[in-house]
Amino acid sequence: MSSQIIQDKHLGEQYIRVEHPSGLTMLLYPMPGFSTTYAMFSTQYGSVDTCFQAKEGGEQIRVPEGIAHYLEHKMFESEDGDAFDRYAKTGAAANAFTSFDKTCYLFTCSGKFQESLEILLDCVTHPYFTKETVEKEQGIIGQEIRMYEDDPNWRVTFNLLDSLYHNNSVKVDIAGTIESIARIDADLLYRCYNTFYNLHNMVLTVSGNFDPDEALQVADRVLKKAPPFEAVRRPQQEPESVVRKRVVQHLPVALPMFYIGFKSPDAGQKNNFCNVIFDEMLLDIITGETTELYRQLYNDGLINGSIYGETMAGRDYLCSMVSGESRDPDEVYRRVCSAFEQVQQNGIDPEAFQRVKKATYGRYLGLFSRPDSLASAMTNCHFAGISVYDLVEMVANCTRQQLEQRLREDFSTGNSCLSIVMA
């Protein structure tokens, strides 16, 4: 077992990185003075991983959409009962989620840390699937899919992704479809689990009030050495262009909802993740509540409140979105595109740059005062191949010229789309 202390002298912070003999990377961030502890056990396996080879040169395997999410649902079950019943005895609050690129299992506790961590590691490393339990879960997940089909917020988002991407699986609902989950059985679940729930493809992050030695003791007791991780992912080839410029769906909403999306060139997992920081700063500079664009939209009655900017990225995708409600989404789209084109032509205002840089720097510093946010950031950074301290450094060293380059590369109005949900 090897371990090292990762320090940042400027921040006065440090954490422990452990390469456990099992193959698992452990990132342990004690935070003295905090009352709670947050633990997250994650695999780099998400909804987009529907085509892969279990090993180099092996057969190409294509699995139904939604299987990663299906696995998440089943991992809390065991032959002896439900993991939530075990957590109830420790007082920990447990949860899990599946994203496009990863699946995470987590808990927060204010005591009995070792007992709760043992439950987490044990249930995720000991799958239990039967024909009966898998079939039962289809009905539960099917209800979840049907619920989201009628959710305006969900639909306006995925209609946008479906319009931005031709082939990338990010366009498909994380839960899959009614038709795709009907093809999932216990054998398929075990096949995906044995491929991607390999400890070499996983990370455990713990932050808050805990003793790192106690975490290591649990890992030593529960985890067995994993074979090398050999899976090869086979993502679909994706054109630079968007599928369509505009999509509308009719659902009962009081005011039309809109999502404006900008499809960025894929720069690889690490660069995509890092570019999120810069693209979010650009969204704030151009569409934030202190901007001229926002004031004009509000004064002209085109928005009734806030508009929101967000960026999402993964191993082979990056896109930014602006969302809100409006009586005239098409006019909002026209003005948003015009605002981006004007800044591309004229450059970023120096004062706006400094304001957003300071605000972003403060936001990332805030990670180190919240155990849950810190553990999540450490997970994302690990899978991207960087340290959580690199996030702060990138903001601190960011230049206006760097942002202007990102603006030209990531916000082409020609590769944009408008998604609308209206009555």
More confident residue, 80 or 33: 33
Query: What's the structural domain count of the chain?
Result: 2
Catalytic residue among 65, 72, 77, 118: 72
79 has pLDDT over 90: no
Q: Which of 272-276, 305-309, 372-376 has the lowest average pLDDT?
A: 305-309
Q: How far apart are CA 44 and CA 100, in angstroms?
A: 10
Instruction: Say yes or no: 278 and 158 in one domain.
Output: no
Residue 71 in domain: yes
Instruction: Say yes or no: 217 and 70 in one domain.
Output: yes
**Cβ neighbours of residue 130 under 8 Å, at least 6 residues apart?**
186
| Average pLDDT over every residue of 33-53 | 96
Single residue among 200, 233, 266 that ends a domain in this structure: 233
| Average pLDDT over every residue of 187-206 | 97
According to the model, what pLDDT value does residue 8 have?
94
Instruction: Say yes or no: 25 and 99 in one domain.
Output: yes
Taking each helix axis as running N to C, give the angle between helix 131-149 and helix 67-74, from 0 to 180 degrees, rounded to the nearest 10: 120
Instruction: Say yes or no: 40 and 171 in one domain.
Output: yes
State residue 132 phi and psi, 5-degree precision: -70, -45
Residue 239 in domain: no
According to the model, what pLDDT value does residue 81 have?
77
Question: Does 19 qualify as catalytic in the annotation?
Answer: no
Residue 192 has, within 13 A of its CA and on its CB side, a CA count of: 29
234 has pLDDT over 90: no
User: Where residue 154 falls among pLDDT bands split at 50, 70, 90?
Assistant: very high
Residue 251 in domain: yes
Residue 112 in domain: yes
Share of the chain above pLDDT 70, in %: 100
Instruction: Say yes or no: 229 and 317 in one domain.
Output: no
Q: How far apart are CA 78 and CA 240, in angstroms?
A: 45
Q: How far apart are CA 144 and CA 175, in angstroms?
A: 8
Range of the domain at 190: 2-233
- Please name the residue that has the structure tokens 């065991």: 78
What's the whole-model pTM score? Answer: 0.95
Residue 331 has, within 13 A of its CA and on its CB side, a CA count of: 12
Residue 241 in domain: no
According to the model, what pLDDT value does residue 161 have?
98
Q: H-type helices in 252-291, by residue range?
A: 269-287
- What are the tens digits of pLDDT across the range 331-367? 999 999 999 999 999 999 999 999 999 999 999 999 9
Instruction: Say yes or no: 88 and 163 in one domain.
Output: yes
